Chains A and B, each alone.
Chain A
């Protein structure tokens, strides 16, 4: 696949069969590579921003997180960024704001909460709810 944007390719430059490639080179050890180490091809969906239409976003509170990895497992868009089984943030280029991560978060209060898209993350963290009393 050429490095040109796919929308600029002429008919004779396309790969026959409407094939899109994930990586620019063969990858034998993809499971050992983190997302930012992988040689993503321009045609890989990782290269496209699909979070543009989000109206609510999840905000993540490190102080409350127990690194259970539930959010990482359940996220349908691989938008939870995790390193060495530790939650470190959210990929806002791909998160569509579905709220599943918040739904599965088991802490009290939740360490992931949905806020309106325009809310500043610092502001969101400052307004975090207290632990519920039993």
Chain B
């Protein structure tokens, strides 16, 4: 049995250390990993824990991220608790296998430290990799700071391994802004954390030799459609398990999470909808706007998949102008959040002004000033009741202003 690590009530951890500690406490059977900036320290810390006797499982060094996720799929199908971490190009290389993991219903936990996709090569944060994998059939949890990276990683195991879910889970955090920024983190002690997650229960494992099973079979047109429908159904219905696990975690730690992170949304007339560390910056900008008498709020998406469609409609029902903030190169269309929030609002029967801001690509700073500018634009739209600005604008870009539609 692995050694227990004595943790302080408050530790100073960056997002990577927070995620690595959560992986250690989950007592994973197999981690297959290939390090990549900015998620390298997760597996680096984890392998040191293993070398020092704090981890009982296996660490597989592989030749690529494709191999890492393939190793994870094999180990999970064999019946083990499995996790890994990646970023950007490595995530892109895993893509093919990410679909295998979700289709085979293997509750692998993947910590994604979000980073821009090349070219041009860039090691800094944006959400291009998160957007690339959003349809891969995984549950997607988003954390905005190291404490949340720790909490979400612990909860990811409990959510994915629930017998009603059995789906892989990604936990996102922003490259460098979260992964390399040390903050106070209140961890659980090892036994408490493991007790919360619980022992792993394998389902149809390949190492159960008395019940031989073939995983991820070929199906063609005969039942591929039915199989994908079941996978989608179970992913959509994982909301109840996610809420249940969030509630159990709140009982244990006092830290409350929901599908959406709402900040001053009760009476908000203008709102920024965002993912990642920008949510916390937007909260400061919202406070400043409130001092000026603007009813500003922030809506952070905590669970990106399954997408909280109804909850978003409810949260934004009285908002007059919304900024959908997309930190990913839009690639010839609007950002994902703009499209998905637009769909939710259209179905709700409300017609607020909805603008799409493309920001922070490749690690470009997004400041409180940028965010207050956005609130001021929203405020003007809310007062006039119509869109006063182009639908899609690029924020913090050098050169002439760039906008579309």
Contacts and interface: CB of A to CB of B under 8 A. Distances in A.
Co-complex (A, B):
yes
A126 interface: no
A35 interface: no
Interface stretch (B169-177, B214-222, B318-326): B214-222
B226 A18 contact: no
A20 B213 CA distance: 6
A27 B223 contact: no
Contacts of B229: 11
Contact of A17 (B166, B210, B222, B225): B166
A21 to B, nearest CB: 5
A128 interface: no
Interface in A35-82: 43
B230 A11 contact: yes
Interface stretch (A2-10, A91-99, A107-115, A116-124): A2-10
A18 B211 contact: no
B160 to A, nearest CB: 13
B294 interface: no
B401 to A, nearest CB: 49
A17 B214 contact: no
A24 to B, nearest CB: 10
A22 to B, nearest CB: 4
Contact of B222 (A6, A20, A26): A6
Nearest to B226: A11
Given A17-B104, A18-B217, A18-B219, A28 B210 contact: yes
**Majority-rule SS of A interface residues:** loop
Contacts of A18: 103-104, 215-217, 219, 227
Given A6-B222, A17-B106, A17-B204, A12 B230 contact: yes
Given A9-B223, A14-B230, A16-B234, A26 B204 contact: no
B216 A26 contact: no
B392 interface: no
Contact of A20 (B105, B214, B233): B214
B212 interface: yes
Contacts of A125: none
B238 interface: no
Contacts, number: 68
A14 B210 contact: no
B105 A17 contact: yes
Contacts of A14: 223, 226-227, 230
B216 A22 contact: no
A15 B214 CA distance: 12
For chain B, give the interface size range: 20 to 34
Nearest to A13: B226
Nearest to A23: B212
B231 interface: yes
Given A6-B223, A9-B226, A15 B211 contact: no
A20 B222 CA distance: 14
A19 B222 contact: no
For chain A, give the interface size range: 20 to 34
A42 to B, nearest CB: 13
A38 to B, nearest CB: 11
Contacts of B213: 19-22
Contacts of A26: 210-211
B145 to A, nearest CB: 34
A20 B206 CA distance: 11
Contacts of B204: 15, 17, 19, 21
Contacts of B234: 16
Contact of A22 (B212, B223, B230): B212
B127 to A, nearest CB: 29
Q: Give the interface centre of B105, B214, B229, B234 by most chain A CB atoms within 10 Å.
A: B214
A111 B195 CA distance: 65
Contacts of A10: 226
Nearest to B163: A16
A7 B223 CA distance: 7
Interface string B354-381: 0000000000000000000000000000
Contact of A7 (B217, B222, B230, B233): B222
Contacts of A22: 211-214
A6 B214 CA distance: 15
Nearest to A8: B223
B210 A27 contact: yes
A21 B217 CA distance: 11
A20 B210 CA distance: 14
Given A6-B222, A17-B105, A18-B103, A11 B212 contact: no
24 contacts: A6-B223, A7-B222, A7-B223, A11-B233, A14-B227, A14-B230, A17-B103, A17-B105, A17-B106, A17-B166, A17-B215, A17-B216, A18-B103, A18-B216, A18-B217, A18-B219, A18-B227, A20-B213, A20-B214, A20-B217, A21-B212, A21-B214, A27-B211, A30-B212
Interface of B: 103-106, 166, 203-204, 210-217, 219, 222-223, 225-227, 229-231, 233-234
